[in-house]
């Protein structure tokens, strides 16, 4: 293996480029029209255009990506997460083209990528699963049949995309009357996000935690589980804060859960990096939820408490090397790590996406801080992709210190031009229930609903006054840079024309 093509964009493409470079491998970026100026393109040794901005015309096009591999002379492909990372056709096509796929086999992706088949595999390995439908709902299923099926599972229930992940294509249903609408919505979102509109039903447990186990598995039969990650802080089923270890996991639960995770992986002959997600109920019972056959967004927190570079090991495993890590060390974390997913969203406006140009950026650093990002000043955050712009990770000796360190780092994180979720995290990290570790998967949605749209972090009178003085000082010192557009209406028109032009190009209109 000499040259790795990264079939992804954003922070994860930059993360993989870094791992490759540390291993002496050269790198190939692929990019859509919207990403010509993106950091992964600038950082890679080679970069290939693969098509227009909508994912289906670029990052989801297997033929275009394989063509880029051929043109650039890449001999391996890392899929990152999202896009084609859990697409078995992609894994198979990479293999059939004579390239190394840095991930599990196409067969394992196919098996565990189907949430319904994965549940069967977990049951086969002796691991409990959440009650739900054994097969996907047929596209022609009648509302009446669907309602009967739902009754056997019980309300409240979840409609979930068979090919899903990241909360997309998922709906909660508490009333039978909402079922068919939720199935319709989940199907349309799943079709758009994953190219597969199939959905299934699963019971929603009361106040469960989402706890998951990272695994590495080599081609020589070794499967190693890592200390769990706590991912219960979610907004609309999307993880926003992750930490490790979990306050809710006792040594006995950890032993049982990591053994169960390894058993599931072993039973399907799994290789490379993967994650088994569990729901943990209030009585300490856990249920297999699904397996992610890829690197997770939140993998850095595991790296911080174990000292293991997971991406480096993904590549080494794909090269056929043996896992020679000390098993006990992976289950005995050093200190505590937390990740905040910084999104280009406006927390004061219902977390609506906030695409646009980053005008000024200052990123935190210092002891125990890691910022996995692809954001730069001047970068246009496109409307076409996930609004994740950075993962901020804090490590410290214990949980309270890690939280304080994260708050310190958030206070150093300056992004202007787009709205971000930084003020939201600053608020969350002061919440008594969060500090005490009293939360479950709908905790955040519940407290956000209770806030009823109240703004996060209103600037103090002192800050507002300093802002007023600074604006005037900048106008004195540098009239051109502080000047507002001479005619705001004209500027408005120019921006709107630019959006329209782009929308036309991307076929959005």
Partner 1 sequence: MQYEVEVNHRIRQVSVRRADGRFVVGVDGRECTIDVARIDAHTLSLLVGTSSYDVSVVADPASGQLALSVGAVVLGVSLNGRRRWGRREDGGHDADGPHQLKAPMPGKIVRVLVKAGEAVRQRQPLVVIEAMKMENELRAARDGVVAELHVAEGQSVDAGALVAVVVPA
Any idea which residues carry the catalytic annotation?
A: 294
In degrees rounded to 5, what are phi and psi of residue 419?
A: -85, 145
Of the pair 65, 342, the CB lying nearest partner 1 is at 342
Distance, in Å, from the CA atom of 307 to the CA atom of 325, rounded to the nearest integer, reads 11
Of the pair 193, 442, the CB lying nearest partner 1 is at 193
Q: Where are the beta strands (DSSP E) in 410-494?
A: 414-416
Structural contact between residues 103 and 81, judged by C-beta atoms closer than 8 angstroms: no
The residue whose two tokens read 């690197």 is: 295
Look at residue 161 and give its three-state secondary structure: strand
Of the pair 27, 193, the CB lying nearest partner 1 is at 193
CA dihedral (406, 411, 413, 418) positive or negative: positive
What's the CA angle centered on 223, arms 222 and 227, to 5 degrees?
140
Distance, in Å, from the CA atom of 358 to the CA atom of 379, rounded to the nearest integer, reads 5
Of the pair 384, 443, the CB lying nearest partner 1 is at 384
Least gap, CB of 109 to partner 1 (angstroms): 21
Cβ burial of 82 (10 Å; 0-12, 13-18, 19+) is buried
Distance, in Å, from the CA atom of 483 to the CA atom of 498, rounded to the nearest integer, reads 21
Helices (H), 195-267: 251-267
How many helices (H) does the chain have, and how many strands (E)? 19, 23
Of the pair 259, 414, the CB lying nearest partner 1 is at 414
Least gap, CB of 161 to partner 1 (angstroms): 13
Least gap, CB of 89 to partner 1 (angstroms): 20
Of the pair 135, 496, the CB lying nearest partner 1 is at 496
Distance, in Å, from the CA atom of 332 to the CA atom of 133, rounded to the nearest integer, reads 37
Least gap, CB of 424 to partner 1 (angstroms): 12
Largest CA distance in the chain: 72
CA dihedral (364, 365, 367, 373) positive or negative: positive
Least gap, CB of 12 to partner 1 (angstroms): 15
Of the pair 107, 380, the CB lying nearest partner 1 is at 380
The residue whose two tokens read 């630019």 is: 498
Least gap, CB of 409 to partner 1 (angstroms): 10
Least gap, CB of 73 to partner 1 (angstroms): 32
Helices (H), 44-178: 62-72, 88-96, 106-113, 115-124, 143-153
């Amino acid at each position: 293996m000499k040259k790795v093509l990264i079939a992804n964009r954003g922070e994860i493409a930059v993360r993989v480029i870094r791992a490759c470079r540390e291993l002496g491998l050269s790198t190939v970026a692929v990019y859509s029209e919207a990403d010509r100026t993106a950091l992964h393109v600038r950082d890679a040794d080679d970069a290939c255009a693969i098509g227009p901005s909508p994912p289906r015309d670029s990052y989801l096009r297997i033929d275009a990506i394989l063509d880029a591999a051929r043109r650039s002379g890449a001999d391996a492909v890392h899929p990152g997460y999202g896009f084609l990372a859990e697409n078995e056709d992609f894994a198979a096509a990479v293999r059939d083209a004579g390239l190394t796929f840095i991930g599990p086999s196409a067969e394992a992706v196919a098996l565990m990528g189907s949430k319904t088949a994965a549940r069967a595999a977990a049951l086969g390995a002796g691991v409990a699963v959440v009650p739900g439908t054994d097969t996907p709902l047929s596209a022609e299923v009648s509302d009446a049949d669907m309602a009967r099926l739902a009754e056997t599972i019980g309300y409240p229930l979840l409609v979930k995309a068979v090919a899903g992940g990241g909360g997309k294509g998922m709906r909660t249903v508490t009333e039978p009357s909402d079922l068919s609408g939720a199935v319709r919505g989940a199907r349309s979102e799943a079709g758009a996000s994953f190219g597969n509109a199939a959905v299934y039903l699963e019971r929603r447990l009361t106040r469960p935690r989402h706890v998951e186990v990272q695994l590495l598995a080599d081609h020589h039969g070794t499967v190693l589980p890592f200390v769990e990650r706590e991912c219960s802080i979610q907004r609309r089923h999307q993880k926003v804060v992750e930490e490790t270890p979990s306050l809710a996991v006792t040594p006995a639960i950890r032993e049982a859960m990591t053994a169960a995770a390894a058993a599931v992986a072993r039973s399907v002959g799994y290789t490379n990096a993967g994650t088994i997600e569990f729901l943990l109920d209030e009585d300490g019972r856990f249920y297999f939820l699904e397996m992610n056959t890829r690197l997770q967004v939140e993998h850095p927190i595991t790296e911080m408490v174990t000292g293991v570079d997971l991406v480096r090991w993904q590549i080494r495993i794909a090269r056929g090397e043996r896992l020679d890590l000390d098993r006990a060390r992976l289950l005995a974390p050093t200190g505590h790590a937390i990740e905040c997913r910084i999104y280009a969203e406006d927390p004061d406006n219902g977390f609506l996406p906030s695409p646009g140009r980053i005008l000024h950026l200052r990123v935190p650093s210092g002891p125990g801080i890691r910022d996995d990002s692809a954001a730069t000043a001047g970068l246009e955050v496109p409307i076409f992709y996930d609004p994740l712009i950075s993962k901020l990770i804090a490590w410290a000796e214990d949980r309270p210190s890690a939280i304080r360190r994260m708050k310190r780092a958030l206070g150093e994180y300056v992004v202007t031009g787009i709205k971000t979720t930084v003020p939201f995290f600053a608020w969350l990290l002061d919440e008594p229930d969060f500090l005490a570790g009293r939360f479950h998967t709908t905790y955040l949605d519940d407290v956000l609903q209770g806030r009823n749209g109240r703004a996060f972090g209103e600037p103090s009178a002192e800050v507002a006054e300093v802002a007023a003085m600074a604006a005037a000082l900048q106008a004195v010192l540098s009239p051109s840079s502080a000047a507002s557009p001479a005619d705001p209406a004209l500027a408005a028109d120019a921006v709107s024309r630019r959006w329209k032009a782009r929308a036309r190009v991307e076929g959005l209109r």
